[in-house]
Amino acid sequence: MDMRIVLVQGDITAESVDAVVNAANSSLLGGGGVDGAIHRKGGPEILAACRDLRNSHYGKGLPTGRAVATTAGRLPARHVIHTVGPVWSPDEDRSELLASCYREALRVADELGDRTVAFPAVSTGVYGWPMEDGARIAVETVRAAATEVEEVRFVLFDAAAYAAFEAALAR
Ligand code: ADP
């Protein structure tokens, strides 16, 4: 079945979808940016679930490029899928790790039966990934993914990010 890709400019915590993807850090214990917004709006249930995951599976942290799901707490979603993007490096090509975030998040969504998934532009904030390149990798990876997900919504915080994704989609 064909996947629909939709672009939205705004705050990902307002999206009614099956799964909201979080650009987490490997500690899973919260941070700034989209991570901070998700925990603030979703409430303490998400952090409690992240703590449990840390204790049961990820004592050393969730590895970069991987994804794991929790409750969505008070967000209008069924799950939050936490993924850890790579920090941008001028010396090393970490594109495959960034692509892995999108692929793994969709794989987790498939496991949960989630059919609509909202993604932020992973790694393009504090982690410094250039927006045009981050958008290209996001769109190419999602398009190429073998998944049952029916709708991917890229939720972009500002007009520049939206424009970068629009350009990537047009290619
Ligand atoms: P990372 O550490 O992976 O770079 P950030 O959260 O710092 O994660 O940034 C990832 C992207 O998410 C950035 O483009 C940032 O502008 C955007 N962003 C920040 N807050 C939100 C939000 N509430 N909804 C959607 N996107 C957001």
- What digits encode the pLDDT tens for the residues 17-63? 999 999 999 999 988 999 999 999 999 999 999 999 999 999 999 99
Task: Of 90, 70, 66, give the one whose Cα is nearest residue 80.
Answer: 70
Mean pLDDT to the nearest integer, 1-10: 93
Percent of the chain with pLDDT over 70: 99
| pLDDT the model gives residue 1 | 62
Higher pLDDT, 76 or 2: 76
| pLDDT the model gives residue 30 | 87
**DSSP-assigned states of every residue in 105-168:** HHHHHHHHT--EEEE--TTSSTT---HHHHHHHHHHHHHH------EEEEEESSHHHHHHHHHH
Q: Which residue's CA is the nearest one to ligand 1's atom 15? A: 125
Q: Which among 35, 52, 93, 133 is annotated as catalytic?
A: 35
Mean pLDDT to the nearest integer, 125-138: 98
| pLDDT the model gives residue 157 | 97
**pLDDT averaged over every residue in the chain:** 97
Q: Is 55 exposed, middle or buried (0-12, 13-18, 19+ CB in 10 A)?
A: exposed
- Candidates 11, 34, 126: which one to mutate for ligand 1, based on the most atoms within 8 Å of Cβ? 34
Q: Is 124 near ligand 1, meaning CB less than 6 Å away?
A: yes
35 is catalytic: yes
Half-sphere exposure of 5 (CA within 13 A, CB side): 16
Q: Is 80 near ligand 1, meaning CB less than 6 Å away?
A: no
Q: What is the ipTM of this complex?
A: 0.98
Q: Is 35 near ligand 1, meaning CB less than 6 Å away?
A: yes
User: What strands, in cross-sheet order, belong to the sheet with 67-71?
Assistant: 4-9, 151-156, 116-119, 17-24, 77-84, 67-71
Residues 101, 103, 108, 114, CA torsion sign? positive
Q: Is the pLDDT of residue 135 over 80?
A: yes
| pLDDT the model gives residue 53 | 97
- Ligand 1: nearest atom to the Cα of 128: 4
Confidence of residue 124 (pLDDT cuts 50, 70, 90): very high
Percent of the chain with pLDDT over 90: 97
- Ligand 1 centroid from CA 127, angstroms: 9
Query: Residue 66: left if φ>0, alpha if ψ -120 to 50, beta else—which one?
Result: beta
Confidence of residue 2 (pLDDT cuts 50, 70, 90): confident
